[in-house]
Copies of this chain bind each other. A is one copy, B any other.
């Protein structure tokens, strides 16, 4: 009864394109993109404007029905899988609202994809410096709500650092507008920073102003072989001291991970003659076309090599070599999928704690999961270590309760991260996957503060319930 009345109201607000109730049409909205988890929903709402979104939210929450906001649905933690209630998808809100090249700002609807934003920034002779695999599908609103990371965080920060403001529809249908796009604005609490990473639990991001960076016109790439994580850290710090904010990427792979790529991805080449214990990929970039970064990088690395910190090194001398280096790095996810079942941890620690963290995690892995192999992909200078416990397919197939096994691995490595002052979710977020870890590992005072903020903005708990925060 309630539903019928609601559908009528929603249909008036959203029009025929804005309301899906056919189960078949709803399927992609109630399932995560890797098809691992399915939920259910009364309807999927696809507003085309902020006004429609606000009116729809008001209609739904007035009836105490829950709302599940959804961007490109590329998350890894089931943050957009609904449990009931209605899904609000942002994909029809894809206007480039305003381009302000002289201020280095673009205002966009939340449903604009990262790839579309990259193209628009490019058109203006600049760049939007967030780089991750799902750019063709991931939407700006979702990237903000999950505070997305990627390979450019060292230089440019995460999504929260790249936005100059947001527009948010609150649970009561009110619209908060922080779209002024000002670099400096000390007029009270920043709701923009509060909703960044809030995973839709405080409101729906319907638009944002993003900050552009200058386009890079000269680059240098290197691939180093090292004998230890310690050495990689030391080399990383020397490169930082020498090049500072010119560093685009400092990516670490261990030998196991490099071997997966070589084994499974046709045409990929290891830049060095042997597969080293650790590989460190470096990219420098400068907007100045006159900057000759390659010889400068060569000089810094030569000194480190002389001291024995680096065992082998290749500095790209051509665009092709640079491309090969990135191709190797980007092949990691694909290679892992073919190689086996990798439980990929999204841990972070302070950079100084990385060696001890990996050593301790290795001990736990060898002890408790001897049938698995450890692999590492790390954004080194951010302290974001994707520690991977890799099980052969046939071993994994033999486990009767696979989710339990996954949980066991996660708990074990998360505990190691916690013991080293680290986090169990560096960039992937919490979603519905890690709420129990929030309850287990987060300082109760922090959690209490979060719950109080949540209650203040969403007193009935209707915005993406079940995500991010553990049930009270």
Contact = CB atoms under 8 A, between A and B. Distances in A.
Contacts of A105: 350
Contacts of A452: 456-457
The number of times this chain is found in the oligomer is 2
Given A194-B194, A348-B182, A442 B187 contact: yes
Contact of A453 (B147, B189, B429, B445): B189
Contacts of A36: none
A185 interface: yes
Contact of A213 (B146, B177, B244): B244
Interface in A146-178: 146-147, 149, 153-155, 157-158, 160-161, 170, 174-178
A102 B352 contact: yes
Interface stretch (A17-25, A219-227, A282-290): A282-290
A80 to B, nearest CB: 15
A103 interface: yes
Contacts of A290: 296, 299
A171 to B, nearest CB: 11
Interface residues of A, number: 97
Given A186-B429, A190-B193, A193-B190, A177 B445 contact: yes
A428 B288 contact: no
Interface string A422-442: 111111111000000010001
Nearest to A180: B421
Given A103-B350, A383-B103, A455-B456, A287 B244 contact: yes
Contacts of A174: 445, 448
A150 to B, nearest CB: 10
B468 A426 contact: no
Interface string A74-110: 0000000000000000000000000011111100000
Nearest to A164: B350
A52 to B, nearest CB: 18
Contacts of A447: 188
Contacts of A160: 190, 193
A105 B383 CA distance: 12
A257 interface: no
Most chain B CB neighbours (cut-off 10 Å) among A104, A188, A352, A438: A188
B186 A244 contact: no
Contacts of A430: 186-188
Contacts of A189: 194, 197-198, 202, 449-450, 453
A188 B233 CA distance: 28
Could you say which of A102, A174, A198 has the most chain B C-beta atoms within 10 Å of its C-beta? A102
Interface string A392-410: 0000000000000000000
Interface of A: 100-105, 125, 146-147, 149, 153-155, 157-158, 160-161, 170, 174-178, 180-191, 193-194, 196-198, 202, 213-216, 233, 237, 240-246, 286-288, 290, 296, 299, 348-353, 379, 381-384, 421-430, 438, 442-443, 445-450, 452-453, 455-457, 468-469
Given A103-B383, A184-B379, A244-B286, 14 more contacts: A100-B352, A102-B233, A153-B183, A161-B161, A174-B445, A181-B421, A186-B429, A189-B453, A190-B196, A214-B242, A241-B287, A245-B246, A246-B246, A453-B457
19 contacts: A101-B352, A102-B351, A103-B350, A153-B184, A160-B190, A170-B445, A175-B445, A177-B445, A180-B421, A180-B423, A182-B350, A184-B379, A184-B383, A186-B427, A187-B424, A189-B202, A243-B288, A290-B296, A456-B456
